[in-house]
Amino acid sequence: MLLGRAYRDLGDDRTATEEFSGARDEFDRLGAVGDLRRAEKELGESRRPGALSKREVDVLSLVAAGLTNQEVADKLVLSKRTVDRHVSNILRKLHLRSRTEAAAFAFEHRIVPPDAG
């Protein structure tokens, strides 16, 4: 991460990106979630954290708002089973263990419900 910042300060964005990408991959391999998020942020990947799809971001925002999977399904016109799968994918992609951690992640990354904005 320090090398990436140094290269960025020197104006070498290509090498900075390579350093941040390498750090991101290593943090992911190690399960260092906090550092992984910082590397993703340096790479500009925070708009869709953890490589979430747009639909997964929509589901995450509603989970963070306190909706049950059935309520999310009703609001997004999906089946409950589809929402269950999205939640499972979100937890896996973000290396989280619970809906509570997912909600905290959503608030930390300013992910808001689709109609709140």
**Among residues of the chain, what percentage have pLDDT more than 90?**
51
Q: What is the pTM of this model?
A: 0.58
In terms of DSSP H, where are the helices of the chain? 2-9, 13-30, 33-42, 54-64, 69-76, 80-93, 99-108
Q: Are residues 63 and 108 in the same domain?
A: yes
- The parent domain of residue 12 ranges over 2-42
Residue range 48-98, pLDDT digits in tens: 566 788 899 999 999 999 999 999 999 999 999 999 999 999 999 888 999
Residues 17 and 74 in one domain: no
Which residues, other chains included, contact 105 with Cβ-Cβ below 8 Å and sequence gap of 6+? 49, 60, 94, 96, 111
Which one has a higher pLDDT value, 32 or 59?
A: 59
d(CA 89, CA 52): 9
Say if residue 75 is in the same domain as residue 93. yes
**pLDDT class of 47 with cuts at 50, 70, 90:** very low
Query: Residues 33, 76: one domain?
Result: no
